[in-house]
């Protein structure tokens, strides 16, 4: 009987592990920042900031939080209907929390914590930026690479996207992916940086999903 119970628990554990691995977003390939080549004679598409956004999620052993960050402005360079360059500015002061009611004191507390020096230090670093360094087809997917500048730290990240171009409007939508926040000097609660955190740590992986809509200037 004990052996049967142990076997059931073992199979259940395997199932949970498999589900967790399947559901976890893939980390964006992260390398040193790359040189940005000048784009010549490309059409300019202006980012529609009201229709563009970044969603985020952070995890810890006891749960998770999620929200949005606004794109402040940006330009996409387009040649023959394809994105060949561009950049956009991210307004870090716009960060919101969606999983806690807006009128709950916990919402303002968490937003304030994310904005202070423990996390994104928005007073000193009000903006982040993303500059496209390339797009290529890999195994049937469009992979977007770009330099992400955050807290005066710049790394190049690569993640899968879908791009549509219809009636003078381009929409770039990423799959959900993760970045290791510690690579941008966001270290609070990281057990890879600090010892003796027990179960009070926050995962290094931060989930992101980017949606950028732009129209021909």
Residue 161 lies in a domain: yes
Does residue 13 lie in a domain region? no
For the cut 50, the answer to whether the pLDDT of residue 166 exceeds it is yes
* CA atoms in the 13 A half-sphere facing the CB of 186: 23
* Predicted structure pTM score: 0.88
As a 3-state breakdown, the chain gives helix, strand, coil percent values, each rounded to 5, of 20, 50, 35
* Domain annotation covers residue 5: no
What total of structural domains would you count in the chain?
1
Average pLDDT along the chain: 91
Distance of CA 19 to the CA centre of its chain: 22
pLDDT, tens only, 109-123 = 999 999 999 999 999
Q: Which residue has the higher pLDDT, 21 or 75?
A: 75
pLDDT greater than 50 at residue 14: no
Distance CA 105, CA 112 (A): 11
User: Average pLDDT of 67-94?
Assistant: 97
Which CATH number fits the domain that encloses residue 48? 2.40.128.110
Domain of residue 40: give its range: 25-216
Distance (Å, whole) CA 75 – CA 85: 9
Whether 186 maps to a domain, the answer reads yes
- On whether residue 16 sits in a domain, the answer given is no
Is the model more confident about 161 or about 2?
A: 161
Does 15 have pLDDT greater than 50?
no
Residue 7 lies in a domain: no
Instruction: Report which DSSP code applies to 35.
Output: P
């Amino acid at each position: 009987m004990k052996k049967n119970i142990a076997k059931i628990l073992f199979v259940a554990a395997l199932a949970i592990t498999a589900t967790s691995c399947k559901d976890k977003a893939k980390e964006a390939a992260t390398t040193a920042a790359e040189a940005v080549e000048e784009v010549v004679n490309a059409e300019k598409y202006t980012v529609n900031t009201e229709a563009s956004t970044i969603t985020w999620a952070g995890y810890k052993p006891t749960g998770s939080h999620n929200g949005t960050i606004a794109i402040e402005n940006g330009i996409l360079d387009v040649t023959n209907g394809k994105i060949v360059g561009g950049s956009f500015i991210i307004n870090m002061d716009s960060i919101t929390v969606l999983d806690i009611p807006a009128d709950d004191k916990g919402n303002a507390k968490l937003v304030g914590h994310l904005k202070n020096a423990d996390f994104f230090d928005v007073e000193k670093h009000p903006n982040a930026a993303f500059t496209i360094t390339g797009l290529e087809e890999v195994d049937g997917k469009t992979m977007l690479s770009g330099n992400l500048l955050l807290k005066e730290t710049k790394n190049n990240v690569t993640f899968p996207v879908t791009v549509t171009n219809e009636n003078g409007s381009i929409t770039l939508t990423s799959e959900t992916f993760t970045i290791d926040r510690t690579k941008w000097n966001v270290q609070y609660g990281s057990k890879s940086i600090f010892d003796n955190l027990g179960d009070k740590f926050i995962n290094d992986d931060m989930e992101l999903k980017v949606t950028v809509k732009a129209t021909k200037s």
